[in-house]
């Protein structure tokens, strides 16, 4: 019976490629399902044999731990050189966009409160 190993929704393409390569290197029999034409199906990697589940999960956990450590090291390096992304830096890069977002949020709050008081609730 097929077993879900790895959900691909929201996963970066490089990580998905790495996981496919890892499973192939470990000689684990798997297949992939896509999101379909309208994106409503579940994109995922599935194991064909239940016997491979433990081996695959162990390899996947090792890979994800290594990926986490590399990403954390990259972030710490960027933070050390003050090149990491912050909200203030993002606002300075695109102030008009963030002002438009703020205006839209305030408009939604205003309309919601106005309707609430007009209906007398």
Q: What is the CATH superfamily name and number for domain 1-84?
A: Hypothetical protein rpa1041 (3.30.70.1530)
pLDDT of residue 35: 92
pLDDT at 96: 97
pTM > 0.85: no
Query: Per residue of the chain (121 residues), what is the pLDDT tens digit?
Result: 789 999 999 999 999 999 999 999 999 999 999 999 998 999 999 999 999 999 999 999 999 999 999 999 999 999 999 888 899 999 999 999 999 999 999 999 999 999 988 887 6
CA atoms of 53 and 45, how far apart (whole Å)? 12
Return d(Cα 3, Cα 6) in angstroms, integer: 9
Positive or negative, the CA dihedral 77, 81, 82, 85 is: negative
Instruction: Please state the domain extents for the chain.
Output: 1-84, 85-121
């Amino acid at each position: 019976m097929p077993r879900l190993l790895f959900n691909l929704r929201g996963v970066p393409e490089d990580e998905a490629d790495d996981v496919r390569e890892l499973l192939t290197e470990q000689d684990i029999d798997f297949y992939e399902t896509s999101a379909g034409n309208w994106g409503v199906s579940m994109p995922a990697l599935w194991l064909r044999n239940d016997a491979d589940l433990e081996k695959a999960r162990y390899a996947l956990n090792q890979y994800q731990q290594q990926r986490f450590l590399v990403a954390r090291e990259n972030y710490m390096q960027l933070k050390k050189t003050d090149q990491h992304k912050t909200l203030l830096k993002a606002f300075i890069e695109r102030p008009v966009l963030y002002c438009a977002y703020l205006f839209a949020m305030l408009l939604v709050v205003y309309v919601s409160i106005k309707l609430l008081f007009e209906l007398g609730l």
